[in-house]
């Protein structure tokens, strides 16, 4: 069962990549560059390269699968939890690129003009999610929760965005949060 799940997990990037490519998402950034890391959430290369601050959100997603499933592990078993991680990881990368979700993102100030991820970024985000799942599977629940908190605080403090803030912004935008995020927006990107 576990070997079959590993094979299915390995096919996840192919499913994500082919789906997004068929929907018209570019394979790589229009700049033609491939970068390991994009530091600014305001960069036009954000969500276009291998990793950015939102990669932490995907990493945390994988860890959260372990945290949420922990009370049920005895009854459903690790393979079922692993399957949930795979399915939610692939599903999110695809659902994230539906018009409805893209429009929800664009409705918030931070994501205006967001066109979605490149195939490269989406595939890497899925891999980050599986990496978070793998790490959380290998460490204690207490360390997993502590790491989630540290990563969320770090992303919030440095990038002014995190899984928590993105979720709030998509579900019910809060003007005070958006104003706080806008304080560090580069001048050349601010509206005249």
Render pLDDT for 114-125 as a digit per residue (tens, 0 to 9).
888 999 999 999
Cα(163)–Cα(159) distance, integer angstroms: 11
> Two tokens at 74?
């005895």
- pLDDT of 192 > 60? The answer is no
- Looking at residue 49, the DSSP 8-state letter turns out to be S
pLDDT tens-digit readout, 16-50: 999 999 999 999 999 999 999 999 888 889 899 99
- Which among 122, 117, 98, 121 is positioned nearest to 15, based on CA atoms? 122
Cα(50)–Cα(74) distance, integer angstroms: 36
Domain ranges in the chain are 2-27+46-189
Cα(71)–Cα(65) distance, integer angstroms: 11
């Amino acid at each position: 069962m576990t070997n079959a799940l590993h094979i299915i997990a390995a096919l996840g990037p192919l499913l994500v990549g082919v789906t997004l490519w068929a929907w018209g998402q570019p394979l790589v950034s229009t700049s033609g560059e491939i970068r390991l890391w994009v530091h600014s959430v305001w960069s036009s290369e954000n969500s276009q390269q291998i990793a950015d601050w939102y990669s932490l959100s995907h990493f945390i997603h994988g860890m959260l699968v372990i945290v949420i499933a922990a009370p049920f592990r005895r009854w459903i078993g690790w393979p079922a939890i692993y399957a949930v991680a795979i399915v939610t990881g692939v599903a999110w990368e695809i659902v994230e690129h539906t018009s409805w979700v893209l429009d929800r993102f664009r409705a918030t100030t931070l994501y205006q003009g967001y066109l979605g991820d490149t195939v490269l970024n989406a595939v890497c985000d899925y891999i980050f999610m599986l990496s978070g799942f793998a790490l959380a599977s290998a460490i204690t629940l207490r360390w997993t929760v502590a790491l989630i908190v540290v990563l969320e605080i770090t992303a919030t403090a440095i990038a002014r965005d995190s899984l928590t803030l993105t979720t709030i912004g998509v579900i019910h935008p809060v003007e005070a949060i958006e104003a706080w995020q806008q304080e560090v927006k580069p001048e050349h990107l601010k509206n005249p």
